[in-house]
Chain A
């Protein structure tokens, strides 16, 4: 029997291993990922480079360990930004409704029309490719679905009796939004946040693959992008970082799926 809670735990375990590797790895394996350590395209198993070398002879393992940090940090920051923008816009639109709500939903629809990846690519190219730019660009192009979800939740919750009671007791709007309604809207938002982290990591890896990332920072996507031309002669240089991205996003998705089920017992039947 396939158990979703079991897979959520598996996801958590994978994620913890990845986090541990990202934190302790570079210290335990002190090779500079930018240094040329050996001949190019050395296959895995070499004593100098356990996971082989890339097209110009840099150590893949070192790149993997150091690159984890950038991939995870950019992913997490971009996801946090996406959630903050999305929740703020959605909460205000859902709580006040009326003209403010209408206007904010127009803005949301406007951003939905813009092609997300292209816009992010444009922003990064125009404003120097640093990790911050990458995270901000991802945040700017991906908050719309969070805003719509938050608004729908706020519309539903704001008319519930206990919210009316808080209002009747003279609570201020700001207090009602953040301390009364938001906590009740959290379950679906937490699930979305988890999935958003996964999407942001994928987004970052895609951008790095295209070379639209800080050239001085190693990340998993960068390794794949820089070795794209050697994919037929050196499978390891492009496959291994991809497995790491896949495992990270998979672990986060599994956790999100498990949380979703925990919040909605009805789904268990499915």
Chain B
């Protein structure tokens, strides 16, 4: 279905972009005043110049910038993202260890938002002046305007006093160790409810509005009139002929948002102490743990690129017109 040439061109562009990202991030971090060793040693309270020099030599920080960059690019290309000063483990392992939690959070939130948002938008589009339509307009503006971390906090405050069922912090209960796979799943699911719901509110506002306007546009298309003229029942007209076209922009936006998965989760992960990549990013930035910072920035960019390629392929499959043009 997907033309090989388009895929190959995509991959080539992506490799160039990844290289550019590596160079950009590395340069950015080295443009900053003060190097990580000085900051770290300073934080530990020691100011021993000899120690600093030794550490700088150990990490190659005394070499010329071009050489450091070259060494870094080479090691990244061999799959080595460096070693974290702070966590004392390889950056790649650190990232892979945190990735599942973030994926779980963002994918659940996105799925929730896409399914509910699209359904609401589609129903509302059939009565563009109805109550649901106006409600969606209001909710989407409100959802856009509320700071996501604040939504989380309000949920915690509200639920903690009124309905203290769901845990407000972390991903697992410390007392729950050894509960088995089933017990663990239930535990994680409980912890997931609030953060996923918080993140989903923000996405939901966007999807309901997008689905509504997309569906409104499609419903006035000539081919929908044709479908009606064919004597098909309204159910088929709306949910087959119109919906299939109306979801196209939803797919694009979902792909883009999935790409921003790590960055999008930082605030919610911080509010709910969710042990994901976003929190790792935040912590490493605070500690000026540059290998980890660089690693996460690169990893996030790679996720965006992969998500773009996947979105493009999915789009080609569901919209026959694009496939033909390439």
Contacts and interface: CB of A to CB of B under 8 A. Distances in A.
Q: Do chains A and B make direct contact within the complex (CB under 8 angstroms)? A: yes
A109 B145 CA distance: 26
A212 B270 CA distance: 13
Contacts of A249: 144-147
Interface stretch (B41-49, B174-182, B260-268, B314-322): B260-268
B281 A121 contact: yes
Nearest to A120: B263
A197 to B, nearest CB: 11
B79 interface: no
Interface of B: 17, 20-21, 24, 28-29, 31-33, 128, 134, 137-138, 141-142, 144-150, 153-154, 156-157, 160, 213, 216, 260, 262-264, 266-267, 270-271, 281-282, 285-286, 288, 293, 296-297, 300-301, 304-305, 308
Contacts of B281: 118, 121
16 contacts: A110-B24, A113-B17, A114-B24, A114-B301, A115-B262, A115-B297, A115-B300, A121-B285, A206-B148, A210-B266, A221-B147, A224-B149, A231-B153, A249-B144, A249-B147, A252-B145
B127 to A, nearest CB: 12
A86 interface: no
Given A110-B17, A232-B160, A206 B147 contact: yes
A269 B220 CA distance: 12
A17 to B, nearest CB: 16
A249 B20 CA distance: 35
A29 interface: no
A153 interface: no
Dominant SS at the A interface? helix
Contacts of A239: 150, 153-154, 157
Interface of A: 2, 4, 109-110, 112-119, 121-123, 125-127, 198, 202, 205-206, 209-212, 221, 224, 228, 231-232, 235, 238-239, 242, 245-246, 249-250, 252-254, 257, 269-270
B297 A122 contact: yes
A126 B36 CA distance: 10
Contact of B150 (A112, A113, A119, A224): A224
Contacts of B145: 198, 202, 246, 249-250, 252-253
> Quick one: which of A122, A127, A235 has the most chain B CB within 10 A?
A122
A127 B138 CA distance: 39
Nearest to B263: A115
A212 B260 CA distance: 20
A113 B260 CA distance: 9
B103 to A, nearest CB: 15
B206 to A, nearest CB: 12
B263 A127 contact: no
A105 B158 CA distance: 46
Contact of B285 (A125, A209, A221): A125
Given A118-B296, A224-B153, A253 B144 contact: yes
A112 to B, nearest CB: 8
Contact of A269 (B32, B33, B128, B260): B128
Nearest to A252: B145
A246 B157 contact: no
Given A202-B147, A224-B150, A114 B157 contact: no
A242 B128 contact: no
B63 to A, nearest CB: 20
B255 to A, nearest CB: 12
A270 to B, nearest CB: 6
Contacts of A119: 297
A242 B147 contact: yes
A49 B285 CA distance: 36
Contacts of A110: 17, 20-21, 24
A242 B142 contact: no
> Quick one: which of A115, A212, A253 has the most chain B CB within 10 A?
A115
Contacts of B141: 250, 253-254, 257
Question: Top 10 closest A-B pairs, CB basis?
Answer: A126-B32, A242-B150, A115-B263, A115-B300, A249-B145, A250-B145, A117-B263, A2-B134, A113-B304, A235-B157
Contacts of B20: 110
B260 A115 contact: yes
Contacts of A231: 153, 156-157
Nearest to B281: A118
Contacts of A212: 285
Contact of B156 (A221, A232, A257, A269): A232
Contacts of A118: 262-263, 266, 281, 285, 296-297, 300
B83 to A, nearest CB: 19
A205 B150 CA distance: 10
Contact of B137 (A2, A238, A242, A246): A2
B32 A127 contact: yes
Nearest to B286: A125
B142 A206 contact: no
Nearest to B302: A113
